Amino acid sequence: MTAAENKFLKEAVKQGLRMQHRFLAEPVLARTGKGFLKSEGVVTLQRIKAGLKKSKSNRSHGRAE
């Protein structure tokens, strides 16, 4: 396995473990592994939106005019 592949695999596992607690299996589909992810909530969405606004403002102020 190359270094790039190893790095990708580690990041994929890290992301999977980070969201694993949100996966809810449907009772009927529990044996098939099908289900859904429950929402992280409003606070998480607000934090993401604030981060996006901040990154956009940083890009617009960093331009050479």
The pLDDT tens digits for 14-23 are 988 888 877 7
The better pLDDT of the pair 32, 55 is held by 55
Return d(Cα 37, Cα 51) in angstroms, integer: 22
Q: Hey, what are 21's tokens?
A: 């607690």
| pLDDT on residue 65 | 43
On the question of pLDDT at 33 being above 70, the answer is no
| pLDDT on residue 10 | 95
36 φψ region: left (φ > 0), alpha (ψ -120 to 50), beta (else):
beta
Structural domain count, the chain? 1
| pLDDT on residue 49 | 86
3-state SS assignment for residue 2 = coil
Q: Which domain holds residue 13?
A: 3-61
